[in-house]
Structure 1
Amino acid sequence: MFILDLGSGLMLILKAFGLIVFLMCVLYMLMIMPRVVNKPSSEPFTRVLYAHRGLHDNRSNAPENSMAAFRKAVEAGYGIECDVQLTRDGVPVIFHDFTLARIARYPDGCVPADAVPNPDGSLGVKGKVVDYTYEELLQFHLLDSDEKIPKFEEFLQMVNGTIPIIVELKIELKDLAVCRKVDELLEDYKGIYCIESFNPLGVMWYRKNRPQVFRGQLSDAFHKDKPEEFQGPLYFILTNLLFNFLTRPDFIAFNHKYANCLARRICRRVYGNVAAAWTIKSEEELAKARKHFDIFIFDSFVPQSGPKA
């Protein structure tokens, strides 16, 4: 009798455990679920390959995120991925890093004593983009070129709807002013565009305020890509797309090196979510990524196939 009671108790425990596992799986699937209804068409975004920060070469007169690099991409027919953040006076400009030192340079003969030394021996501009007004930023140039940090408005006027663009919103912490400022400029833009951000708050802003806009969540296998920088629960949540229940993205833009990330694969295979690959740096990587992704952002080479995806 005791043995029977023990067996019955064990079965109840196993059933309860199975139910808990099942409910956790359901909760997980609901949390990572992207937008599945009333979503914009992805077709306009999958036609072309995207030049990362323009068709640039940082050793040339067309460095990253410069008007020269963007013009080259437009002339070649490539889509463009660019990065937008705000100056101190609230002007949306195109620049990738929050800090200026890696790319921005002082005019010849005007390098101050507190210029920031870079690993390559060059001296970069001190501070962040947000520390300067737009007019103050105009004194600096991009690397060894004559190019200046461009206004996002200037970029939109140049592209003028000729190619699709992917706009990455650079958001520090909770400051969503860039979402509002960028949206004001895009509201009257007639071309094809989508937005993406590593910060879920930015994607969530678009979900709430501009649901008709194709929106994407940027992510990475942070603990694998840069373990010395990205540790802790926040990066675990970001890697595993556990903020999707807040953002309900239309696409996931993921580091192509980690295409096997479970959450990313579920979003694409189970939910039919569009997958964007960043950043492809060779023909071999492009060929490999085609099996796992639908949108391709490239850098450091010019695809032999041309702009067509």
Structure 2
Amino acid sequence: MTDLSWLTARPVAHRGFHDMNKTRWENTLSAFTAAAERGYAIECDVHLSSDGVPIIIHDDDLKRLTGQDGFVWQRSAAELTALKVGGTSDHLPTLQEALDLVDGRVPMVVELKGIPGRDEGLVARVGKMLKRYKGKAAIMSFDHWLIRDFPKHAPGIPAGLTAYGKDLKLIEAHFSMLAHELSFTSYAAGDLPNPFVSFVREKLKMPVITWTVHDQPAIDLTFKYADQMTFEGFEPDLVKVA
């Protein structure tokens, strides 16, 4: 089994170390710089531009972050990277820009955001970038159709299922994804404990990180039932985390 101790060694900054979009916005080069300077791993979200470039942004539409109308998949990488985030000097970055900036200083956890009919090539392009990358990096997704492509199009890259829920139907769906060479899971902290997380952690010895941790109760759940947290809105090194 691949050693993934680096994935859980340090807290993971959700969309980088931002300040809840006051002056340093989520998923920007400024947020990634701040995380790397503090030694936190970085989680980021990736969509595909109209010309097939992985762009770091959480939402599929542009309004909340850039004030523009329309969707990420409707615009080219050049058009997207020209857009400023939250009225700051930061622009929407490409994944390659973020990798070049971080340069192996801290681990990168890249969440792939699927858009049915608009995401062909996303896994392959991200996989190719991470294969060349010299630092520690992993991929994950909520989207089962993308996860099914991970072994073929991103071989050798640690792969995770992003998940939530406690009800039986969701838990069964999560178990079905274990057929696709998963290396870890990222689970909603508020939905711990549950049979899926207990099984993968105890029986498969698979690392479990949680999302998104904002307060002490979520910290406590994480370190009782999982291995590390994806956090935002505070600095873990300054609070009790276990």
**Is the shorter-chain TM-score for this pair beyond 0.5, marking a shared fold?**
yes
Counterpart of 1:164 in structure 2 is 107
Counterpart of 1:26 in structure 2 is none
**Aligned in 2, Cα 1:181/1:288: closer, same or farther, shift over 3 Å?**
same
**Superposition pairs of residues 218-233 of structure 1, within 5 angstroms:** 218-221=162-165
- Unaligned runs of at least 5 residues, structure 2: none
Give the letter aligned to residue 140 of structure 2.
E
Give the letter aligned to residue 192 of structure 1.
K
Question: For 1:245 and 1:156, how far apart are their aligned partners in 2?
Answer: 28
**Superposition pairs of residues 113-152 of structure 1, within 5 angstroms:** 125-152=68-95
Deviation of residue 240 (structure 1)?
4.3
Residue 175 of structure 2: SS of its match in structure 1? coil
Question: For 1:202 and 1:145, how far apart are their aligned partners in 2?
Answer: 32
Match among 137, 140, 148 for residue 193 of structure 1: 137
Q: CA RMSD in A?
A: 2.3
Matched, 1:80 2:13: no
State the TM-score, normalized to the length of structure 1.
0.72
Deviation of residue 126 (structure 1)?
1.1
Question: For 2:22 and 2:178, how far apart are their aligned partners in 1?
Answer: 43
> Whose radius of gyration is greater, 1 or 2?
1
Identity of aligned pairs, percent?
A: 28
- Asked whether the equivalents of residues 40 and 213 of structure 1 are also in contact (C-alpha less than 8 Å), the reply is no
**Aligned in 2, Cα 1:275/1:59: closer, same or farther, shift over 3 Å?**
closer
**Aligned in 2, Cα 1:59/1:92: closer, same or farther, shift over 3 Å?**
closer
**Superposition pairs of residues 1-309 of structure 1, within 5 angstroms:** 39-105=1-67, 125-173=68-116, 175-221=119-165, 236-237=169-170, 240-305=173-238
Greater RCO, 1 or 2 (C-alpha within 8 Å, sep 6+): 1
Residue 109 of structure 2: SS of its match in structure 1? strand
Deviation of residue 236 (structure 1)?
3.0
- Unaligned runs of at least 5 residues, structure 1: 1-38, 106-124, 224-234
- Asked whether the equivalents of residues 176 and 201 of structure 1 are also in contact (C-alpha less than 8 Å), the reply is no
State the TM-score, normalized to the length of structure 2.
0.90
Instruction: Count how many residue pairs are aligned between Structure 1 and Structure 2.
Output: 240
What are the Cα deviations for residues 246-270 of structure 1, in whole angstroms up to 9, with x where unaligned? 3231111110100122222222222
Question: For 1:67 and 1:239, how far apart are their aligned partners in 2?
Answer: 38
**Aligned in 2, Cα 1:277/1:239: closer, same or farther, shift over 3 Å?**
farther
**Aligned in 2, Cα 1:269/1:55: closer, same or farther, shift over 3 Å?**
same
Question: For 1:208 and 1:271, how far apart are their aligned partners in 2?
Answer: 22
